[in-house]
Structure 1
Amino acid sequence: MATSGPAQGVLGQILEPVGSLWLDALTMPVVPLVFGLLVTGVASASRSAAAGKTATRALLLFAVMLTGACLFAAALAEGMLHLWPAQGTLAVAGMPPAGPDAGAWYRSIIPANPIKAAVETAMVPLVVFALFLGFATARIGDELAEALLKPLRALVEAMLVIVGWVLVVGPIGIAALAFGAGARLGAGILGTLGQYVVVVAACCLAATLLAYLWAAAAGRVSPLRLARAALPAQTVALGTQSSLATLPVMLESAAALGVPPAAAGIVLPLAVSLFRAASAAANVAVAVYLAHMHDVPIGAGELALAALVAVPISLGAVGLPAQVSFFATIAPVCIAIGVPVTALPLLLAIEAVPDLFRTLGNVTNDIAVTSIVGINPR
Structure 2
Amino acid sequence: MKFKFGLLPRVLAAIAAGILCGLFFPEWLTRVAATFNALFGQFLEFIIPLLILGLVAPGIADLGRNAGRLLLLTAALAYGFTLISGFGTYAAGRALFPLLLRGTAAGATAEAATFAPYFTIPMPPVMGVMSALLLAFVLGLGMAYARSERLKEVMVEFRSIIERTIAGVLIPLLPLYIFGIFLSMTQSGQVTSILEVFVKLIVVIFVLTLLLLAFQFTTAGLVARRNPFAMLRTMLPAYLTALGTQSSAATIPVTLERTLRLGVRPELASFVIPLCATIHLSGSMMKIVACALAVSMLAGLQLPTTTFVGFILLLAVTMVAAPGVPGGAIMAAVGLLESMLGFDETLVGLMIATYIAMDSFGTATNVTGDGAVAVIVDTIERRMKRPDVPR
Q: Secondary structure at the match of 1:342?
A: helix
2:273 counterpart residue number: 268
Q: Which residue of 2 aligns with 1:296?
A: 301
Q: How has the CA–CA distance of structure 1 residues 338 and 62 changed in structure 2, closer, same or farther, with 3 Å as cutoff?
A: same
1:135 aligns with 2:106: no
Which of 38, 42, 49 is matched with 1:20 structurally? 38
1:217, CA displacement in angstroms? Answer: 4.1
CA drift of 1:306 comes to 2.0
CA distance in 2, matches of 1:186, 1:266: 46
Structure 1 residues 14 and 230: CA distance shift in structure 2, 3 A: closer
Using a 3 Å threshold, how does the CA distance of structure 1 residues 240 and 160 change in structure 2: closer, same or farther? closer
CA offsets per residue over residues 176-226 of structure 1, 9 Å max, x none? 222112122043332133234234434433432331233134444332232
Pairing 1:316–2:330 present: no
Cα RMSD over matched residues? 3.0
**Is residue 150 of structure 1 aligned with residue 169 of structure 2?**
no
SS at 2:54 equivalent: helix
Deviations 1:79-130 (A, max 9, x none): 2212222634212699xxxxxxxxxxxxxxxxxxxxxxx866343x643442
- In the alignment, is residue 327 of structure 1 matched against residue 331 of structure 2? yes
Counterparts of 2:74 and 2:193, CA distance in 1: 45
**Displacement after TM superposition at 1:72 (Å):** 1.1
Matched AA of 2:238: A
Q: Higher RCO, 1 or 2 (CA under 8 Å, sep at least 6)?
A: 1
> How many Å separate the matches in 1 of 2:347 and 2:321?
23
Percent identity of equivalent pairs: 24
Distance apart, 1:60 and its partner CA = 1.7
Give yes or no for contact 1:23–1:342 (8 Å, CA) kept in 2: no
Is 1:176 matched with 2:192? no
Give the SS at the match of 1:244: coil
Whichever residue aligns with residue 154 of structure 1, its letter is: E
Contact 1:212–1:223 (8 Å) recurs in 2? yes
2:271 equivalent to 1:253: no
1:271, CA displacement in angstroms? 0.8
1:225 corresponds in structure 2 to 230
Aligned residue for 2:110, secondary structure, equals coil
Q: 2:162 aligns with which of 159, 165, 168?
A: 159
Q: How far apart are 1:374 and its partner, in Å?
A: 0.6
| Counterpart position of 1:59 | 75
Aligned to 1:42: 60
Letter in 2 for 1:59: A
Once the two structures are superposed, the pairs formed by residues 103-142 of structure 1 within 5 Å of their partners are 121-123=128-130, 126-141=132-147
Aligned residue among 243, 247, 268 for 2:248: 243
Q: Normalising by structure 1, report the TM-score.
A: 0.81
Match 1:190 to one of 186, 195, 202: 195
SS in 1 for 2:60: helix
User: Are the equivalent residues in 1 in contact too, given 2:291–2:354 (CA < 8 A)?
Assistant: no
Separation in structure 1 between the aligned mates of residue 191 and residue 246 of structure 2, nearest angstrom: 32
One-letter amino acid of the counterpart of residue 178, structure 2: I
Equivalents in 2 of 1:148, 1:344: separation in Å? 33
Q: Distance in 2 between matches of 1:214 and 1:80?
A: 25
Q: Where does residue 69 of structure 1 map in the other structure? A: 85
Residue identity matched to 2:185: A
After superposition, the Cα gap between the structure-2 partners of 1:293 and 1:372, relative to the gap in structure 1 and judged at 3 Å, is same
Amino acid at match of 1:156: R
Partner of 1:364: 368
**Cα drift, residue 39 of structure 1:** 0.7
Note the C-alpha offset of 1:40.
Answer: 0.4
Structure 2 residue matching 1:245: 3-state secondary structure: coil
In structure 2, the gaps of 5 or more residues are 1-18, 114-124, 385-391
> 1:97 — aligned with what?
none
Q: How does 1:71-90 map to 2 (within 5 A)?
A: 71-85=87-101, 87-88=104-105, 89-90=108-109
Q: Flag the 1:129–1:73 CA change in 2: closer, same or farther, 3 A.
A: farther
Please say which of residues 70-79 and 330-339 is displaced more in the overlay. Answer: 330-339
| Separation in structure 2 between the aligned mates of residue 233 and residue 180 of structure 1, nearest angstrom | 39
CA distance in 1, matches of 2:267, 2:284: 27
Partner of 1:104 in structure 2? none
2:175 & 2:23 partners in 1: Cα distance? 25
1:12 shift after superposition: 4.2
Q: Give the match's secondary structure for 1:317.
A: coil
Q: Which amino acid aligns with 1:303?
A: F
Letter in 2 for 1:194: V
What is the CA distance between 1:369 and its match in structure 2? 0.4
Q: What do residues 348-378 of structure 1 show as CA deviations (whole Å, max 9, x unaligned)?
A: 4565541221122112210000000012313
Whether the 8 Å contact between 1:247 and 1:272 is mirrored in structure 2 is yes
The whole-number CA distance in structure 1 between the counterparts of 2:217 and 2:251 is: 19
